[in-house]
Structure 1
Amino acid sequence: MNELPAIEGGKPIRDGKSPLRYRPWITDEDIELVVDALKSGQLSAIGGRWNTALEQELSKYLGVKYAVTVSNGTAALHVALKALGIGPGDEVITTPLTFAASATTILHSNAIPIFADIDRETLNISPASIEEAITDRTKAIIVVHLAGYPAEMDEIMKIAKERGLYVIEDTAQALGAIYRGSFVGSIGDVGTLSFYPTKTITTGEGGAVVTNNDDVARRARLLRSHGETGKYYYELLGYNYRMTEFQAALGYSQLKRIEEIIRRKEMFSKVLMEELEYIENDLVQFPRLKPYIRHAWHLFQIILNLEKIRVGRDRVVNALRAEGIEAATVVYPIPLHKEPVILNMADHGKGCPWSCPYYGRKVTYKPLPNAEWAAERIVSILIGPLYTEEDAVDTAKAIKRVLTYYRR
């Protein structure tokens, strides 16, 4: 094997093969159900059958009483916050190492995001840091199961119960992940799902809110559809966050093979870990899998040992992509507490929610060393259900070639 990386003039690992890039797994049955929904002429969730069918199957799969489909994962978070009554004067704690919506939906609810640091071993929010972030204004915690890895829910639920806080599980990347025998999303007060094309199952765009709470489910249904309880009778200030019928038909079809999707992602990840074992704890480390979790494998996260590599993380990613591993990517290079939308305190006009009269204190965001450490070191491989064992071996070869070449 030519050890010179392709970015330095060598022959790419996947020379002669298609680049490894993510594609959703769409079957003939998926297409048939979408066509059926289109041919029905009933394209909206109002009066349709596919949204109801998807909600029922999600509830059954996750073991919760209610699932409410919505237009996307961001809408799911917004609906969850509003259904719990989060609003002006409230603080919500979340992780800084995640997609922006986990924090910006708090702002859209006219509440204030407060960031707790992460655990370096799992890259998820740290329960100890949550404790330190709680104030008399804290109303909820948004727990993100990052990359498909379940957060430490026992400790988080204990804190929430002792302090009287709601827990929202952001499972956008983790549908199908399991923590101590329970599906994530079913453990807290509310769970939120995303069905974006790269997620465990897809509806193109789409999401859902799941809960065992009767009142939260009722409010979520109203909030997603203008707060309407009867024709032109509006009880709540709601939104149009409905999912279309053809999206729901696709999600229903995909959900039937979710366990196969996860099994395929697990296979890829297992091969990758086995192939990279000899450079682990030297040039790289991975979030360690604990015996009481099942990872959903949205991303395979590689934490670079930058002290032993003579280039930065972005050069490593570009080098992997040059080898034909286009699934290599950088996610969340800027922790949310350092993003301009947070630092500049972007608002809804006239300072709200930051200077809302119900709030009454100035927010400052302190450094979060673990999140900042991780943000400059993580290389992510976006895992697709169509990847093969050969794809995993090629990916491992590319990682070993690039990191060995750039070793100090």
Structure 2
Amino acid sequence: MLALTGGRPVIPEGAVAPWPWIRDEDRTAVLGALDRSTPWHWPMAAVEELEAAWADFTGMPYVLAANSGTAALHMAVSAAGIEPGDEVLVPADTFLASASCVLQANAVPVFVDTDIETFNLDPARVEERITDRTRAIVAVDLNGLPAPYDPLREIADRHGLALIEDAAQAHGATYHGRPAGALGTLSAASLNGSKCLSALGEGGLFATRDAEEHRLARRVLMFGEELPGQGRDYNARIMGWNYRIDVLAAAFARSQLGRLPEMSGVRRANGAALTAALAGVPGIRPPVVPDGLTHVYFFYPLLVAPEELGLAEADVPVAAFRDAVERAVNAEGLGIIRWQPRPVPAQTLFQEMRGYGRGCPWTCGHARPGHRYRAEEYPVAEEICRRRLVLGQSFSSLGPPNDEGTMRLFAEVFHKVLVEERDAVVALARGLARDGAYDDQGTS
């Protein structure tokens, strides 16, 4: 019997360890930074140590730590020279910050559809979106899998575009032996508490190979100032922000970075074990990892496929089946969520195009006229959003100390829900379809 209807859950409370994995060396690092934090000055030693360690890990010589991945993305867009009216290509299926960083430069995001298997930007759809206003591509390493950088690099080089890597979800992943964070012209990564490299609170990392881009990003980081040497001249050259990272967050992230290769190896092994264990379970499609790439499973995305069970859309809509699976899996003690229920261009910000007010940046006189965001132009992203459920983050982490035994428990949940108790789940889906209306994005 399903736990949802009174049965015993497969996974007992406390059996899955949360993320991040905190050890004594992390506590020692934070306490050490606390002891070194006075007298207050900038940059703090813990911040410089984190920047140096990320530079060493990625091979990117110029690194700045920021107070969020969103801030780091804004710094990257600004350092790439994006100005008002410029256009930047962004995947239609991503987190908002991959696109809002473009708006922060008073520039215009132009969305590109994604690949149904990798969930990443589809290179075959990129060039049709390039105009004479296009200045950059934001490539997102979604879920923990690097984007297809070789074809994207070829396109970017041919058109003279910056290739900005959004590595927020992929610390520790590799693309043909090269680490995430070093795959674009310049990169930004998040250190949000849930990320594969965590600051426990909030944080971010900007990285580049170019000294001038580093200088420009540093202006954005700190009030528009030039920061000659170690002093300040309190002279803002541009519109800047206060994007400085908290010293204790930097210390925690630096400590975690020392174990990132070990933790990434566990994530890869756990993801592979879970995929193997789900091979015989119908109704869901596990993630794909292309040859030459490694996946670190910030999210472990699943696409529901009721048609594999012989269920027609008219009988059991995909959205209703998805919601039934979500409810049943959660009741069995395995945290699963519906992440990003719609493509970014379908969000209200882009549908209403109010921007900063009065329609800026689209109506501020620099942008190409006629921009509109039509969700139907991104059918693959729409289909992914309609079918997707994800494991991961802290609620069902694939990171250590969870291991392959934990993954067997995860797989047992899906076997129970979609094999042993399939009829009950289908009945639940029919009931949801009968009781609720779903829009085109499968939102009730």
* TM exceeding 0.5: yes
**In the TM superposition, what are the counterparts of 1:89-238 in structure 2 within 5 Å?**
89-203=85-199, 204-229=201-226, 230-238=232-240
Cα drift, residue 106 of structure 1: 1.2
Match of 1:246 among 236, 244, 248: 248
Contact 1:45 1:242 in 2 (8 A): no
**In the TM superposition, what are the counterparts of 1:260-279 in structure 2 within 5 Å?**
260-279=262-281
The CA distance in 2 between the partners of 1:45 and 1:313, in whole Å, is 52
The CA distance in 2 between the partners of 1:173 and 1:242, in whole Å, is 21
Cα drift, residue 385 of structure 1: 2.4
* Equivalent residue, structure 2, for 1:406: 422
The CA distance in 2 between the partners of 1:21 and 1:130, in whole Å, is 40
Superimposed CA distance per residue, residues 109-162 of structure 1 (whole angstroms, 9 cap, x where no aligned partner): 111111100111111010011111111111111111100111110000100111
Contact 2:268 2:294 in 1 (8 A): no
Cα drift, residue 365 of structure 1: 2.3
The 1:19–1:377 alpha-carbon spacing in structure 2 relative to 1, beyond 3 Å, is farther
Matched, 1:356 2:364: yes
Match of 1:36 among 9, 32, 36: 32
Contact 1:94 1:143 in 2 (8 A): yes
Matched, 1:295 2:301: no
The answer to which of 5-14 and 123-132 deviates more is 5-14
The CA distance in 2 between the partners of 1:306 and 1:231, in whole Å, is 63
* Equivalent residue, structure 2, for 1:332: 340
The CA distance in 2 between the partners of 1:131 and 1:25, in whole Å, is 42
Partner of 2:93, secondary structure, is coil
The 1:27–1:43 alpha-carbon spacing in structure 2 relative to 1, beyond 3 Å, is farther
Amino acid at match of 2:417: V
* Equivalent residue, structure 1, for 2:391: 381
The CA distance in 2 between the partners of 1:350 and 1:118, in whole Å, is 31
Matched, 1:5 2:13: no
Contact 1:226 1:239 in 2 (8 A): yes
* Equivalent residue, structure 1, for 2:433: none
Contact 1:45 1:243 in 2 (8 A): no
Cα drift, residue 322 of structure 1: 0.5
Contact 2:17 2:401 in 1 (8 A): no
Matched, 1:304 2:304: yes
Superimposed CA distance per residue, residues 290-314 of structure 1 (whole angstroms, 9 cap, x where no aligned partner): 2211112211111111323644212
* Equivalent residue, structure 2, for 1:393: 408
Partner of 1:107, secondary structure, is helix
Contact 1:265 1:385 in 2 (8 A): yes
Superimposed CA distance per residue, residues 215-246 of structure 1 (whole angstroms, 9 cap, x where no aligned partner): 11111112101122233122232110001221
Which runs of no fewer than 5 residues in structure 2 stay unpaired? 227-231, 427-444
The CA distance in 2 between the partners of 1:85 and 1:97, in whole Å, is 24
* Segments of 4+ moved more than 6 angstroms: none
Match of 1:370 among 380, 399, 403: 380
The CA distance in 1 between the partners of 2:73 and 2:40, in whole Å, is 21
Cα drift, residue 259 of structure 1: 0.9
The CA distance in 1 between the partners of 2:180 and 2:167, in whole Å, is 7
Matched, 1:286 2:296: no
Amino acid at match of 1:193: A
Contact 2:37 2:44 in 1 (8 A): no
Partner of 2:300, secondary structure, is strand
Normalized against structure 1, the TM-score is what?
0.94
The CA distance in 1 between the partners of 2:15 and 2:409, in whole Å, is 11
Contact 1:18 1:324 in 2 (8 A): no
Superimposed CA distance per residue, residues 364-395 of structure 1 (whole angstroms, 9 cap, x where no aligned partner): 22321100111011111103323133321111
The CA distance in 1 between the partners of 2:321 and 2:287, in whole Å, is 20
The CA distance in 1 between the partners of 2:353 and 2:365, in whole Å, is 16
Amino acid at match of 2:422: Y
Amino acid at match of 2:405: E
Contact 2:278 2:286 in 1 (8 A): no
Amino acid at match of 1:381: L
The CA distance in 2 between the partners of 1:109 and 1:21, in whole Å, is 40
Cα drift, residue 44 of structure 1: 6.0
Match of 2:349 among 338, 341, 345: 341
The CA distance in 2 between the partners of 1:115 and 1:42, in whole Å, is 46
Cα drift, residue 346 of structure 1: 2.6
Contact 2:275 2:287 in 1 (8 A): no
Amino acid at match of 1:218: R
The CA distance in 2 between the partners of 1:258 and 1:104, in whole Å, is 29
The 1:190–1:43 alpha-carbon spacing in structure 2 relative to 1, beyond 3 Å, is farther
Partner of 1:354, secondary structure, is coil
Amino acid at match of 2:283: L
Cα drift, residue 406 of structure 1: 3.4
Which runs of no fewer than 5 residues in structure 1 stay unpaired? none
The CA distance in 2 between the partners of 1:44 and 1:71, in whole Å, is 17
Cα drift, residue 90 of structure 1: 0.9
Contact 2:10 2:413 in 1 (8 A): yes
Amino acid at match of 1:129: R
* Equivalent residue, structure 2, for 1:318: 327
Aligned residues: 401
* Equivalent residue, structure 1, for 2:61: 65
The 1:180–1:388 alpha-carbon spacing in structure 2 relative to 1, beyond 3 Å, is closer
